[in-house]
């Protein structure tokens, strides 16, 4: 596994491979690749030393839901055919494909920005590359695997600005974990409920550990609203993932008798065209994008940086705030009772193994680039 890691790492950072260290972490017995100069650049972490000698690292990673990491070309080419097939099958059950194409992001409605007077409220058209978005939000059970693997102790997984405060990310028993947990674990019977009470940085660290990333705002909207190019070149988008009509029975929203989160696989009737479940309702979802409000005189200064969240939650009150286009935000350090996340990975990052059509000249491992065009 160590050789495999080195190979993967050298292919990803060919020019700087010599400056990196590979070390084992005491917690969880994992291999971690980190820049020797401590710059905190994205690193790879792969379990290599299983806790029990009978556990195969490959199986362990599959069980942890880290098949995206196994399917990265640099690692996958070292796996045998059956292992790749296993990883692919696991990935197929977890991820929904969103094709490349344009999406329209509606601006904030004019009435909402009355205070700004001159704010730009028009829509903008964004081109999104092909990606795989998780079918389900990350569950408590999945996040427990991250905590148990020492995710909160691995500096390389964390954004440098969050690492300074990582010891604040504790549960009610002062152990590392989501805010609502008790003594390092979640409430009984909630293993398949979405993990909440995690800030943006915790979500980001988990995604990195799983070999994925958080979806960008436009990617999330593209997956939910599933735009189709009409004959006249315009885009037809869905208001809700299931269509244009509000259907309270298809999402976990305010009007449900019992208020709280539901298991992530519930309410399949509300799935998006791509098969992602509960994009609307249950919990808000962190995206990788920052909130920016632009006026004619330039960008409006926010008091603190805010990250965009999407989708609405079980306690979102107004119907106009639970559409695919409704954008909200919160502080990147906020650990709310109703904000969770789901991960994404660009098709180009695992492309070759999933028979994804790539544009000629597009290299493996190239990150998604979205292009913003004013309409």
Q: Any idea which residue has 């029975």 for tokens?
A: 249
Q: Which of residues 329-368 bind other proteins (CB under 8 A)?
A: 329-331, 334, 336-338
The residues, any chain, with a CB within 8 Å of residue 26's CB and separated by 6 or more, are none
Which letter, b or e, does each residue of 220-246 get, where b requires 16 or more Cβ atoms within 10 Å of its Cβ?
bbbbbbbbeeeeeeebebbbbbbeeee
Nearest to 260 by CA among 209, 309, 206, 187: 187
Residue 47: helix, strand or coil by DSSP?
strand
Choose, by CB under 8 A, the member of 22, 100, 191, 293 that binds other proteins. 293
Q: Is 306 in the site for other proteins (CB under 8 A)?
A: yes
Q: Which is nearer to other proteins, 6 or 337 (CB)?
A: 337
Q: State in angstroms the smallest separation of the CB of 249 from other proteins.
A: 15
Q: State in angstroms the smallest separation of the CB of 330 from other proteins.
A: 5
Q: State both tokens at 119.
A: 């704010």
Choose, by CB under 8 A, the member of 37, 56, 63, 112 that binds other proteins. 112
Q: Which is nearer to other proteins, 85 or 109 (CB)?
A: 109
Q: State in angstroms the smallest separation of the CB of 319 from other proteins.
A: 9
Q: Which of residues 164-223 bind other proteins (CB under 8 A)?
A: 179
Q: Which is nearer to other proteins, 231 or 303 (CB)?
A: 303
Q: Is 282 in the site for other proteins (CB under 8 A)?
A: no
Start-to-end Cα distance in the chain: 49
Q: Which is nearer to other proteins, 51 or 109 (CB)?
A: 109
Based on C-alpha coordinates, what's the Rg of the chain?
Answer: 21
Choose the stretch contacting other proteins; rule: CB under 8 A; options: 14-22, 23-31, 111-119, 202-210.
111-119
Surface-to-core class of residue 68, CB atoms within 10 Å of its CB (0-12 exposed, 13-18 middle, 19+ buried): buried
Q: Which is nearer to other proteins, 70 or 283 (CB)?
A: 283
Choose the stretch contacting other proteins; rule: CB under 8 A; options: 5-13, 85-93, 260-268, 323-331.
323-331
Are 181 and 163 contacting, i.e. CB atoms less than 8 angstroms apart?
Answer: no
Q: State in angstroms the smallest separation of the CB of 180 from other proteins.
A: 8
Q: Is 106 in the site for other proteins (CB under 8 A)?
A: no
Q: Any idea which residue has 């919160």 for tokens?
A: 330
Q: Which of residues 250-279 bind other proteins (CB under 8 A)?
A: none
Q: Alpha-carbon distance 268 to 312, whole Å?
A: 17
Sheet with strand 131-134: strands edge to edge: 95-98, 131-134, 344-346
Q: Is 239 in the site for other proteins (CB under 8 A)?
A: no
Name all contacts of 257-262 with Cβ < 8 Å and 24+ positions apart.
259/314, 259/315, 260/314, 261/190, 261/193, 261/194, 261/196, 261/314, 261/338, 262/193, 262/314
Choose, by CB under 8 A, the member of 116, 153, 170, 271 that binds other proteins. 116
Q: Which is nearer to other proteins, 91 or 240 (CB)?
A: 240
Choose, by CB under 8 A, the member of 18, 303, 355, 374 that binds other proteins. 303
Q: State in angstroms the smallest separation of the CB of 179 from other proteins.
A: 7
Nearest to 259 by CA among 312, 313, 319: 313
Q: Is 302 in the site for other proteins (CB under 8 A)?
A: yes
Q: Which is nearer to other proteins, 26 or 303 (CB)?
A: 303
Where do contacts with other proteins occur on this chain (CB under 8 A)? Answer: 108-109, 111-112, 114-116, 179, 291, 293, 295, 300-304, 306, 312-313, 315-318, 320-321, 328-331, 334, 336-338
């Amino acid at each position: 596994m160590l050789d495999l890691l080195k190979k993967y790492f050298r292919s990803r950072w060919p020019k700087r491979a010599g400056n990196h260290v590979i070390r084992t972490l005491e917690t969880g017995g994992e291999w971690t690749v980190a820049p020797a100069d401590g710059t905190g650049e994205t690193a790879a972490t792969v379990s290599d030393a299983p806790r029990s000698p009978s556990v195969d690292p490959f199986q362990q990673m599959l069980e942890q839901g880290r098949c995206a990491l196994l399917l990265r070309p640099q690692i996958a080419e070292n796996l045998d055919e059956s292992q790749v097939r296993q990883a692919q099958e696991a990935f197929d059950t977890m991820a929904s494909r969103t094709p490349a194409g344009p999406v329209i992001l509606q601006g904030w409605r004019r009435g909402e920005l009355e205070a700004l007077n001159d704010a730009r409220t028009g829509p903008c058209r964004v081109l999104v590359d092909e990606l795989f978005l998780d079918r389900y939000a990350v569950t408590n059970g999945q996040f427990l695997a991250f905590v148990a693997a020492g995710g909160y102790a691995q500096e390389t997984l964390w954004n440098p600005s969050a690492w300074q405060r990582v010891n604040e990310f504790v549960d009610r028993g002062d152990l590392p974990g989501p805010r609502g947990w008790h003594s390092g674990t979640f409430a009984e019977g909630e293993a398949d409920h979405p993990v909440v009470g995690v800030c943006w940085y915790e979500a980001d660290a988990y995604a990195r550990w799983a070999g994925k990333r958080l979806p960008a705002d436009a990617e999330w909207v593209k997956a939910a609203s599933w735009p189709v190019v009409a004959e006249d070149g315009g885009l037809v988008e869905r208001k809700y993932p299931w269509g244009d009509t509000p259907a309270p029975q298809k999402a976990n929203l305010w009007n449900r008798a019992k208020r709280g989160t539901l298991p992530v696989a519930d309410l399949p009737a509300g799935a998006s065209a791509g098969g992602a479940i509960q994009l609307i309702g249950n919990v808000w979802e962190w995206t990788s994008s920052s909130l920016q409000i632009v006026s004619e005189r330039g960008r409006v200064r926010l008091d603190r940086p805010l990250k965009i969240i999407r989708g609405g939650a079980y306690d979102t009150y107004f119907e106009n705030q639970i559409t695919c286009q409704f954008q909200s935000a919160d502080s990147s350090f906020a650990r709310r009772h109703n904000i969770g996340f789901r991960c994404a990975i660009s098709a180009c990052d695992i492309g070759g193994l999933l028979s994804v059509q790539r544009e000629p000249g597009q290299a493996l491992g190239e990150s998604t680039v979205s292009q913003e065009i004013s309409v």
